[in-house]
Homo-oligomer: A and B are copies of this chain.
């Protein structure tokens, strides 16, 4: 078993550094994905103050990582996540139009995908409903729809 590392000079009892596994547990992002994000430049390279060259994280890293995870959950690409992080880290006095723009563009893409998927579903359903499951393969309307010349 492993314990909390760096117990400190026992002042306030909280561990200030996290291993990648602890960070993973806190954020719901696996260690392998965290390392992947680092390679991709979505999160900055972790410090390695441990002699054994383990990655070390602080609570702020957990917040940044949660930001990434939530943005990914909303379907933003890693490129978009990088842009959002850059904006979040830039002059807080600037207007948030850039954020809005990224979000709107993404929403438009989601809508486009929805339109596509709904059309696909309609067509698929049409073919399935026409298909009598007890018919012979030779008469299967689904197969013949797939075989049919346009």
Tier of interface size on chain A: 35 or more
Nearest Cβ in chain B — how far from A74, in angstroms?
A: 5
In the bound assembly, the distance between CA atoms of A21 and B145 in angstroms comes to 25
**What is the copy number of this chain in the assembly?**
2
Residue contacts A-B, CB under 8 angstroms, 30 given: A63-B149, A66-B147, A66-B150, A70-B145, A70-B146, A74-B123, A74-B146, A75-B120, A75-B124, A84-B143, A88-B143, A88-B146, A93-B136, A94-B137, A95-B134, A96-B132, A96-B139, A96-B140, A96-B143, A97-B133, A97-B134, A99-B140, A99-B142, A99-B143, A103-B127, A104-B128, A107-B128, A110-B117, A110-B124, A114-B114
